[in-house]
Amino acid sequence: QLENEIHEIKTHCSHSLAQLNFLKSKVARTLTNELNNLQLQRDSLIKQTELMKYNLIEQTQEYDNTLNNYHTSLNSFRLVLIELEQQLKKQTDTELLLLKPSNQAIHDD
């Protein structure tokens, strides 16, 4: 009878060990799958981040170019205004000089 109990215990232990090995391999597969999924998500996030960084650099360069073009245009406009101001001053000075003799002639009468 003791041998039967020992045999039953060995059989039960063997069965339990088989179940544990099955569960162990199942857990290992699940962990491997989860790890692979996490690595895929990480790689995807890295690619998305790199793309966002690239787009941000592109947009920053475009903004800088637009800003530089704006400053160039503004400076050109300022120079044109200065030139126009000088021309207007010269023209009004000339007209004032032309008007002075006729004003004097009127006052002399």
Mean pLDDT of 68-96: 97
- Residue 109 is given by DSSP the state -
pTM for the complete prediction?
0.56
pLDDT for position 98: 87
pLDDT for position 1: 84
pLDDT for position 100: 80
23-81 pLDDT, tens digit each: 999 999 999 999 999 999 999 999 999 999 999 999 999 999 999 999 999 999 999 99
Measured at the alpha carbon of residue 44, what is the angle toward residues 28 and 30, in degrees to the nearest 5?
10
5-15 pLDDT, tens digit each: 999 999 999 99
Nearest to 100 by CA among 67, 108, 68: 108
Q: What is the DSSP string of 41-85?
A: HHHHHHHHHHHHHHHHHHHHHHHHHHHHHHHHHHHHHHHHHHHHH
Residue 97: CB atoms within 10 Å: 9
Q: Which residue has the higher pLDDT, 1 or 13?
A: 13
Nearest to 9 by CA among 1, 22, 24: 1
Residue 106, pLDDT above cutoff 70: no
pLDDT for position 54: 98
Write the CA distances from 96 to 2, 91, 99, 109, integer angstroms. 136, 9, 5, 20
